């Protein structure tokens, strides 16, 4: 099987690596902006898609299918984002006689509309967050439903994703405005303005269950906790969760398996739940794809989720441990994004002048960047993920702290400093977290006046800039070896 990877960045590299470990060939595709990106060189073959804008490249179904034909690929892995959760893409891939490395189009469709998914889950006996299961047509009806549910309520886009089209409504007077705002945001983001209402839960934890399904059976691989979010976007994930007992894991796991079964699921997928302070859990949505935070599950279960996706796509049985799931040790993931905490977390652009990725015991770097690379604003701001494993949560935090201190990304602003502040926080260390934690903790989001990390980066950046200038005029020492002054100078700068 030759697999075309319809994505870019860290997830494209991740999938290409899995292909190679499975003994499969990988075909990369790239936009003009990504011509020199690491995922292109990692693949066995690479084909251009078009201009940098996603709508002209990574979202072009016709070009992707052409690339598959030209390269002789027999399967397409969509990664996450872009076309991963477009049922129409899965259908087009299958109609072209190719294998879609993911669930059937019908399962994507069923879970893609939140109101439809909520109806299905209710029918399957999976508890859903209290609220509507059909879109709300007009403001008067919305007012009635909101009063019944009790404020605060959340207005949510039926087609929602990435926190878009979501509005918190604390009191009745705000409802009309919130409806209009959510509708227009949803229309812009998804081309669908349908919205519905959910009860807004106070301080829930975001706990999700990884499921894996082959042609024979569906299993769950335990939970990930993703409560550390900014504006409903995950920043830090861990497995297992402090809030989950073995009994709760089994109950939530069963609910997730039921949810997957209800839509005829296959491949890797994730059922997201909110867990309230009193230990109740409610289905939020199912993501019908591999997720950004999948590595933490891999670290504590020993299952390579992407390799299993590839096996399942080939009709092979999945390889998962037998017996009840007992997660081993603790894994943490920090998402490193080119978002500048000093500038309201706005995506930053720039050229990566120097990159040092963390290594050593228990550390994994899933990245898609390298020194010299231009970070533009066309794509998601995720640069890479630092994932650590350790025997317990406290040791995982210590290890992550060490790993983040090793990580140096010079030339573009990142959220690295935020992660270091979070890891030092006593509440985070005590796992006293919930999905509204960062809303209360502006102090963690905002950088302190003079962040020492930044000073080091500035020194390194200046040195590396110099190295690049030198590199354009290759210099060879008298003995024929490349000159090595920069490394020494950098060490000097770090002292
Ligand atoms: P999206 O699909 O846009 O990511 P989700 O429904 O998955 O939206 O929710 C994203 C996040 O928003 C959750 O992890 C949680 O933090 C918050 N959230 C969603 N629904 C609720 C709710 N009913 N009550 C409280 N918080 C919620």
Is the pLDDT reported for residue 479 higher than 80? no
Average pLDDT in the 181-202 region?
A: 96
Closest listed residue to residue 272, CA positions, set 254, 285, 258: 285
Q: Does 3.30.428.10 match the CATH number of domain 2-101?
A: no
Question: Does ligand 1 come within 6 angstroms of the Cβ of 272?
Answer: yes
pLDDT tier, 85 (very low <50, low <70, confident <90, very high otherwise): very high
Q: Which two tokens stand for residue 384?
A: 């890479």
Q: What is the pLDDT of residues 315-366, one digit of tens each?
A: 999 999 888 889 999 999 999 999 998 889 999 999 999 999 999 999 999 9
Question: Does ligand 1 come within 6 angstroms of the Cβ of 253?
Answer: no
Average pLDDT in the 131-139 region?
A: 95
Average pLDDT in the 229-258 region?
A: 97
State residue 493's pLDDT score.
39
- In 288-381, at which residue ranges do the beta strands (DSSP E only) sit? 330-337, 339-340, 346-347, 350-351, 354-356, 363-367, 374-375
Is the pLDDT reported for residue 453 higher than 80? no
Question: Does ligand 1 come within 6 angstroms of the Cβ of 229?
Answer: yes
Provide the 10 A C-beta neighbour count for residue 154: 22
- Torsional sign, CA 430, 436, 442, 445: positive
Q: Which two tokens stand for residue 379?
A: 């794509």
Question: Does ligand 1 come within 6 angstroms of the Cβ of 81?
Answer: no
- Please report the atom of ligand 1 found closest to the CA of residue 226: 14
- Average confidence score pLDDT of the chain: 92
The residue assigned the tokens 């390194």 is 460
Query: CA 434 to CA 439: how far, in whole Å?
Result: 10
Query: CA 268 to CA 274: how far, in whole Å?
Result: 20
Ligand 1 centroid – CA 117 distance (Å): 15
Pairing of strands 25-31, 45-50: parallel
Q: Which of 397-406, 463-472, 481-490 has the lowest mean pLDDT?
A: 481-490
> Catalytic residue at 311?
no
Task: Express as a percent the part of the chain with pLDDT over 90.
Answer: 86
State residue 321's pLDDT score.
85
CA atoms within 13 A on the CB side of 464: 20
Question: Quick check: 253 and 301 in contact, CB under 8 A?
Answer: no
Q: Which helix (H) or strand (E) holds 195?
A: strand 195-199
Query: CA 436 to CA 450: how far, in whole Å?
Result: 27
Q: What is the pLDDT of residues 15-48, one digit of tens each?
A: 999 999 999 999 999 999 999 999 999 999 999 9
Closest listed residue to residue 382, CA positions, set 368, 402, 370: 368
Average pLDDT in the 295-312 region?
A: 98
Q: Which two tokens stand for residue 161?
A: 């994703």
DSSP letters for 354-377: EEE---STTEEEEE---TT-EE-S
Mutate to test the pocket of ligand 1, among 241, 274, 286, 293 (most ligand atoms within 8 A of CB): 274
Domain spanning 205-445 has what CATH number?
3.30.470.20
Average pLDDT in the 378-386 region?
A: 97
pLDDT tier, 95 (very low <50, low <70, confident <90, very high otherwise): very high
State residue 481's pLDDT score.
44
Say which CATH superfamily domain 130-199 falls into: ATP-grasp fold, A domain (3.30.1490.20)
Does 2-101 match 130-199 in CATH topology?
no
Q: What is the pLDDT of residues 384-442, one digit of tens each?
A: 999 999 999 999 999 999 999 999 999 999 999 999 999 999 999 999 999 999 999 99
Average pLDDT in the 136-150 region?
A: 95
State residue 446's pLDDT score.
85
Closest listed residue to residue 76, CA positions, set 27, 24, 22, 8: 27
Catalytic residue among 289, 364, 399, 490: 289
pLDDT tier, 465 (very low <50, low <70, confident <90, very high otherwise): low
- Closest residue CA from atom 16 of ligand 1: 435
Domain-by-domain residue ranges, the chain?
2-101, 130-199, 205-445
Ligand 1 centroid – CA 446 distance (Å): 23
CB burial of residue 173 (10 Å; 0-12, 13-18, 19+): exposed
State residue 325's pLDDT score.
87
pTM value is 0.91
CA atoms within 13 A on the CB side of 454: 14
């Amino acid at each position: 099987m030759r697999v075309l990877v319809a994505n870019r960045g860290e997830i494209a590299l991740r999938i290409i690596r899995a292909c190679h470990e499975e003994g499969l060939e990988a075909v990369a595709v790239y936009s003009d902006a990504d011509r020199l990106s690491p995922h292109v060189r990692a693949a066995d073959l690479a084909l251009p898609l078009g201009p940098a804008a996603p709508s002209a490249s990574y979202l072009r179904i016709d070009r992707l299918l052409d690339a598959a034909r030209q390269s002789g690929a027999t399967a397409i892995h969509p990664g996450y984002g872009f076309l991963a959760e477009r049922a129409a893409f899965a259908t087009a891939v299958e109609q072209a006689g190719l294998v879609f490395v993911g669930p059937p189009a019908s399962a994507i469709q069923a879970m893609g509309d939140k109101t439809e998914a909520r109806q299905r889950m209710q029918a399957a006996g999976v508890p859903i967050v209290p609220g509507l299961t059909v879109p709300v047509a007009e403001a008067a009806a919305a007012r009635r439903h909101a009063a019944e549910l009790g404020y605060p309520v959340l207005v949510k886009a039926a087609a929602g994703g990435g926190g878009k089209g979501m509005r918190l409504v604390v009191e009745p007077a705000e409802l009309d405005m919130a409806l209009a705002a959510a509708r227009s945001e949803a229309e812009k983001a998804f081309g669908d303005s349908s919205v519905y209402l959910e009860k807004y839960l106070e301080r829930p934890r975001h706990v999700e269950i990884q499921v894996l399904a082959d042609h024979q059976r569906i299993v769950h691989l335990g939970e990930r906790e993703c409560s550390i979010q900014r504006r409903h976007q995950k920043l830090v994930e861990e497995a297992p969760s402090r809030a989950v007992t073995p009994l709760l894991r089994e109950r939530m796991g069963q609910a997730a398996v039921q949810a997957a079964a209800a839509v005829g699921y296959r491949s890797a997928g994730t059922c997201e739940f909110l867990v309230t302070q009193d230990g109740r859990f409610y289905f939020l949505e199912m993501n019908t794809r591999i997720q950004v935070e999948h590595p933490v599950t891999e670290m504590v279960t020993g299952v390579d989720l992407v390799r299993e996706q590839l096996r399942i796509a080939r009709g092979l049985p999945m390889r998962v441990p037998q017996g009840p799931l007992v997660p081993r040790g603790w894994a943490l993931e920090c998402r490193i994004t080119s978002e500048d905490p000093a500038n309201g977390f706005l995506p930053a652009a720039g050229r990566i002048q120097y990159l040092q990725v963390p290594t050593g015991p228990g550390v994994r770097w899933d990245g898609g960047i390298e020194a010299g690379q231009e970070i533009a604003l066309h794509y998601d701001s995720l640069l890479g993920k630092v994932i650590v494993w350790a025997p317990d949560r406290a040791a995982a935090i210590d290890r992550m702290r060490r790993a983040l201190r090793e990580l140096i990304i010079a030339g573009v602003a990142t959220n690295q400093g935020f992660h270091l502040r979070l890891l030092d926080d006593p509440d985070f260390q005590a796992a006293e977290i919930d999905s509204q934690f960062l809303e209360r903790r502006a102090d963690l989001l905002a950088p302190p006046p003079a962040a020492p990390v930044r000073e080091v980066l500035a020194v390194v950046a200046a040195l590396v800039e110099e190295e690049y200038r030198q590199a354009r005029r290759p210099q060879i020492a008298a003995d024929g070896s490349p000159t090595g002054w920069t490394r020494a100078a950098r060490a000097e700068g770090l002292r």
